[in-house]
A = this chain, B = another copy of it.
Amino acid sequence: MRDFTYQNGTRVLFGKTAQSAVGTEMRKLGSPVLLHYGSGSIKKTGLYDEVRRLLAHEGLEVFELGGVQPNPRLSLVREGIRLCREKGIASILAVGGGSVIDSAKAIGIGAPHDGDVWDFFTRKAEPTRSLPLGVVLTLPASGSETSISCVLSDGENQDKLASNAAVQRPAFAIMNPEHTFTLPAWQVGCGITDIMGHVMERYFTTEPEVDLTDRLCEATLKTVIDAAPKTLRNPDDYAPRAEIVWAGSLAHNGLLDTGRIGDWATHRIEHELSAFYDVAHGAGLAVLFPAWMRYVYKRDLPRFVQFAVRVWDVDQSFADPEGTALEGIRRMRDFFVSIGMPVTLDGLGIGKDRFDEMATKSQRFGALGQFVKIEKQDVLAILNLALQKDW
């Protein structure tokens, strides 16, 4: 087990009436508030009106910036930063999923920063302060509601990059599973895949003797695997949805990192897919994880056997560990299919033509991964595996 420091002070308010605290929580963070949201679906569901009413009840001045797209854009973040400076915004409230939260995080670190906010993503600068941020979550997926992560796209240059810093962690996160009942099945499937991806990136580590975090990862994965078909069959069944919402936060809040270093090559390759083709992040992960696993599993067969047996309930063949490992990977792929995800690049409408560009760009900060070092030719090999239907 590696030495580590862990601190996660985000205040989680979870449950059927959790949003009723949004006014009092935002008052602690300061007025005026920038209310940040996406396409406006929160106006249809009534959540927008409820939030406005609760903010008004606390006497908070509110400015608005809607229109966040999936794979949130640098251009809107810059607009938000201008608005924050112009209006003297004291705090930000993100109402939405990972894209809205990440856009709000970027505005939060950009507003008090003298230079360009994109510097934080190109690693020219590190965020040291942020406007305080509150979240009302409507999509379990990114884990951004309690995480230090923020991913932003510069649409013009096909760049999708991440900033990770403790100051980006939200002050509070309101999670009412009922707010996710109206999500389309496709978004639910993408979200589940993203949650599992966050756990699996941490699970595949070269750090030996990390039994507790291994088991916590397995517990989180098994919970999501069990709840997924239930929630897709009955979207307004509270119980399985609640499991997924809470799992989505635990998957990415730092707990499952304790004592180990995760891999993150698959996420980084997916960021190239999303940057070039604007595909949904979860769908990209569903295609890439089986390919990455097939490419690397021989490097630590016992770990893939453990994954197959403990997570996917494969009946272990002691004489054939490779067969057990591969069966685990196949079951994961079949699970992704069962929740409506594509598992080949063809399913995303992506061919080979820009493989080289993506592979090159993926290396801008050096090789990817910790579990196995992934260089340009490895990215190409993984993308080629991701074309294969049968194996």
Contact = CB atoms under 8 A, between A and B. Distances in A.
A365 interface: no
Interface stretch (A36-44, A210-218, A320-328): A210-218
Given A226-B211, A227-B211, A14 B219 contact: no
A13 B17 contact: no
For chain A, the bracket of interface size reads 35 or more
Contacts of A258: 12, 14, 246
Contacts of A6: 11-12, 14
Interface string A176-215: 0000000000000000000000000000000011011001
B216 A212 contact: no
B5 A11 contact: yes
A247 interface: yes
B14 A247 contact: no
B1 A239 contact: yes
A8 B239 CA distance: 24
Contact of A212 (B16, B220, B255, B259): B220
A222 interface: yes
A4 interface: yes
A47 interface: no
A338 to B, nearest CB: 19
A99 B107 CA distance: 46
Contacts of A4: 12, 14-15
Contacts of A243: 1, 209, 211-212
A247 B238 CA distance: 30
A214 to B, nearest CB: 8
A114 interface: no
A17 B1 contact: no
Interface in A15-69: 15-18
A389 to B, nearest CB: 33
A3 interface: yes
A1 B2 CA distance: 34
Given A6-B12, A209-B243, A215-B222, 8 more contacts: A1-B238, A3-B17, A12-B258, A14-B258, A216-B219, A216-B220, A219-B219, A255-B255
28 contacts: A1-B239, A1-B246, A2-B15, A3-B14, A3-B16, A4-B14, A5-B11, A5-B12, A5-B13, A6-B11, A6-B14, A7-B11, A7-B12, A12-B258, A14-B259, A208-B239, A209-B239, A209-B242, A209-B243, A212-B223, A215-B218, A215-B219, A215-B220, A215-B222, A216-B219, A216-B220, A219-B219, A255-B255
